[in-house]
Amino acid sequence: MRWEGFRKVRTQVCKRIARRMNQMHIKSVSDYREFLEKHAEEWDWIEALSHVTISRFYRDKAVFKFLENDLLPLLVKQVSDRKRNLLRVWSVGCCSGEEPYTMALIWKVRLQPQWPNVRLEVMATDVDSKLIQRAKQAAYPYSSIKALPNEWQHQLFDQRNGLFYLKPEYQRDVHFVEQDVRVTTPQGLFDLVLCRNLAFTYFEIEQQHKILDRIHAAIQPDGVLVIGIQEDLPEGTQGFSTCSEKLKIFKKVPL
């Protein structure tokens, strides 16, 4: 359960497990281990408790700035060249919606006015049904939105009971689906896939390769993959060339 250099992650997961043990009146980790060995169904709880659910709007701002200024205009051009009018994005492990909604805001506020005939569709998937429900509610504490430009915080959200509710017109382009990336992929091809702070941090190398194959198959020719800024693609990765080493952005190339 430990990852070098991920103190916060460890704390979040350990706290949940301690709470579970407490509920079940189990006093020590070794007693819990024994309980797990005797009750296979308890592993489902462990799996659910181990999801790391840290996210925020505009996380790693430099990445979103690059998307806004360089990458999305290029992708829109590719979409138009192919006589399409829909730009499709997949946010894998979307947590409570912070990442896909950030995409939608950038598109609606900054880019769509330049390309009024192009539409954005963001498919946002997460394995955790509670997070998907929360994402659909689109209500956030200030700490989640504080990296957004000040005027956005006031103009694009309604403030009620100490929470910031994203206005409905900014939610419309984002579709949330409960889905395990190890098992399923949303339908159709995507121009851009964001798979940040999930597979390439928490999954074993073999699983990472399987997920990369899945993502490769789901991306349009010339489409782009963005991973977390502190992540790397596993050794031996094929089918992607580097767009930005620093921002961890990769372009699909044929296998």
Ligand X SMILES: C[S@@+](CC[C@H](N)C(=O)[O-])C[C@H]1O[C@@H](n2cnc3c(N)ncnc32)[C@H](O)[C@@H]1O
Site for ligand X, rule CB under 6 A: 51-55, 59, 93, 95, 98-99, 125-128, 131, 180-182, 196-198, 228
CB of 64 to ligand X, least distance (A): 11
With CA atoms as reference, report the closest residue to 145 among 155, 133, 136: 155
Question: Closer to ligand X at the Cβ: 112 or 125?
Answer: 125
Residue nearest to ligand X (CB): 93
Tell me the C-alpha distance between 193 and 90, whole Å. 5
What b/e readout covers 173-195, taking b as 16+ CB neighbours within 10 angstroms? Answer: bbebeebebeeebbeeebbbbbb
Q: Which two tokens stand for residue 23?
A: 């509920």
Question: Closer to ligand X at the Cβ: 12 or 153?
Answer: 12
CB of 37 to ligand X, least distance (A): 24
Question: Closer to ligand X at the Cβ: 178 or 222?
Answer: 178
CB of 55 to ligand X, least distance (A): 3
Question: Closer to ligand X at the Cβ: 100 or 223?
Answer: 100
CB of 168 to ligand X, least distance (A): 22
Three-state DSSP at 187 gives: coil
User: Which secondary structure element, helix H or strand E, spans residue 213, and what is its range?
Assistant: helix 205-218
Q: How far is Cα of residue 229 from the mean position of the Cα atoms in its chain?
A: 13
